[in-house]
Amino acid sequence: MVTPPIISNRPPLLTIEDLNDDLNYLPIPQDILQLQVDTLNVYENRISIDTFPPEYQQRIMGYYRFSATRYNSDTGKIAARTEETLDIL
């Protein structure tokens, strides 16, 4: 008997390369880029926050909580606005 394939409705995970667009004025350390990627993956429901260790879960929630949710930009990169700060996570 053949095992049926597991169907996942989640989009593929983002990587650091997806965020690198050379529009940053200051260099961003690799660990912060990874934290940004992990936060986006959790926010967009690409991965569950429960897959990370508890300490890193707190770091993701803190990064999301204190990061900008909206800003004006001449480059067209505008963050999505969210009224409920931690309800998503």
88 is a domain residue: yes
Residue with the larger pLDDT of the pair 79 and 57: 57
40, 63 Cβ separation under 8 angstroms: no
Is 35 domain-assigned? Answer: yes
pTM listed for this prediction: 0.65
**Per the structure, how many domains does the chain have?**
1
Asked, for residue 7, whether it belongs to a domain, the answer is no
Q: What residues make up the domain containing 85?
A: 27-89
**pLDDT single digits (tens) 33-70:** 899 999 989 988 899 999 999 999 999 998 888 776 54
Return left, alpha or beta for 45; rule: phi > 0 is left, psi -120 to 50 is alpha, else beta.
Answer: left
